[in-house]
Amino acid sequence: MTLFRGRRILAGAMTLVAAAALAACGSKTTDEKVSAGVTADTSGDTVKVGLLNSLSGTMAISEVTVRDSIMLAIEEINTAGGVLGKKIQPVGEDGASDWPTFAEKAEKLIREDRVAAVFGCWTSASRKAVKPVFEKHKALLFYPVQYEGLEQSPYIFYTGATTNQQIVPGLDYLKAQGAKSLYLVGSDYVFPRTANKIIKAYAEANGMTVLGEEYAPLGSTEFGTITNKVKSSGADAVFNTLNGDSNVAFFKEYKSAGLTATSMPVVSVSIAEEEVKSIGTQYLEGQLTAWNYYQTTPGAANEKFVAAYKAKYGKDKPTSDPMEAAYVSVYLWKAMVEKAGTFEVEQVRKASDGITFEAPEGLVTVDGATQHIAKTARVGKVGPDGLITEVWNSGKPITPDPYLKSYPWAGGLS
């Protein structure tokens, strides 16, 4: 115990030092905001943008293709002369499927690389992790994936669908087809749980019954029990919000149980062409998906996009909704910057309202109030060739409504 005395003094000294540092450095004043944002470095003849996607870990299966399509858009813009006369220089970072890493890398892109905008993130958890970072530094994030709504950050542009552009139209379609009862299957995380809340409210208001609701842990590959429950429920349709890997296991189990697209159709909101390819048409043929874009969507803009993507990454590589939304996000940013005449974030935000772009999915318009974009909703059917063909669309772009304020049945949700 004799050895201890010296150390106790030492520990005491350390505490003192820490306390002194605290007193010297702490500033409680919040009226004088020190962090007025980091201005992007646009001094040279290039402008840097950040790409933040998971290149490793469980989410890499989806996010790598998004990175690819962002790169394609940047390349096209650079060939056409860049933005405001400056070539875009992409700075890539790996979010590693880990939310705190996303926050760290976002901070690095903003503060060290001083990028003009960041494109990326996939899961809601990664978006929630970086949101405070972008708000703190007043920097821009373009988020390209359909999500659960109930969010509206002034420093994020949401180029994927919000709930009233994907889930609600999907339900409208099911209702029109005469579905009276639903079974909800989802992964255990934010998007499915929130989506299912909306679905239940919709069902209640529209005379449909929800016979059951099951969640599988992320990455789960055992769907025996869920399939048994779904089968014995005898529901008219299944609404599927499973994520990534789990879809593969679910559909393999689904077919083994003798369930088919005719006996009990499944509407999925996270299965795009890329996922169809990894699950196999053997299991998916005839099943339904709700999106805003398919590789088969008609139009010259899409033909050009698909051709360019295949030319760059390979003939067997499909294009999908999140890839398209990511591709569009780069062009939308370019249009906003050009309208504002500067890369300065606040000016770019102000210029965003009403920007339109002839996207592969059709005409899209930025809604400045919500910073979402108006998109056309589509429901499609998986064909034997692995492509999804449209069976229904909303006819015109749907105005984004992330908080579902214009839907009376959604009153109690947010």
Whose Cβ is closer to another protein: residue 59's or residue 182's? 59
Alpha-carbon distances, residue 253 vs 11, 19, 289, 350 (angstroms): 60, 60, 18, 50
Radius of gyration of the chain (CA): 24
| Contacts of another protein in 6-65 (CB under 8 A) | 6-7, 10-11, 14-15, 17-18, 21-22, 25-28, 30, 33-35, 55-58, 60-65
Task: Report the alpha-carbon distance of residue 5 to residue 371 in Å, rounded.
Answer: 62
| Contacts of another protein in 276-295 (CB under 8 A) | 277-280, 282-283
Residue of 117, 156, 218, 348 interacting with another protein (CB under 8 A): 218
Q: Does 409 bind another protein (CB under 8 A)?
A: no
Whose Cβ is closer to another protein: residue 68's or residue 301's? 68
Residue of 48, 86, 131, 334 interacting with another protein (CB under 8 A): 131
Whose Cβ is closer to another protein: residue 51's or residue 288's? 51
Contact indicator for 128, 140 with CB cutoff of 8 Å? no
State in angstroms the smallest separation of the CB of 408 from another protein: 18
Tokens (6 digits) for 240: 């599927």
| Contacts of another protein in 107-126 (CB under 8 A) | 107-108, 111-112, 123-125
State in angstroms the smallest separation of the CB of 47 from another protein: 20
| Contacts of another protein in 245-264 (CB under 8 A) | 245, 248-249, 252-253, 255-258
| Contacts of another protein in 198-217 (CB under 8 A) | 214-217
CA angle 337, 343, 347 (to 5 degrees): 75
Contact indicator for 141, 156 with CB cutoff of 8 Å? yes
Whose Cβ is closer to another protein: residue 56's or residue 296's? 56
Instruction: Choose the stretch contacting another protein; rule: CB under 8 A; options: 42-50, 164-172, 244-252, 367-375.
Output: 244-252
Residue of 88, 118, 226, 355 interacting with another protein (CB under 8 A): 226
State in angstroms the smallest separation of the CB of 300 from another protein: 28
CA 54 to chain centre: 13
Whose Cβ is closer to another protein: residue 222's or residue 385's? 222
Sheet containing strand 118-120, edge to edge, reads 87-94, 46-53, 118-120, 141-143, 156-158, 372-374, 362-367, 356-359
Contacts of 79 (CB under 8 A, 6+ apart): none
Whose Cβ is closer to another protein: residue 129's or residue 301's? 129
| Contacts of another protein in 318-377 (CB under 8 A) | none
Tokens (6 digits) for 55: 């290149």
How are beta strands 288-291 and 156-158 bridged, if at all?
unpaired
What is the rounded end-to-end Cα distance, in angstroms, of the chain?
60
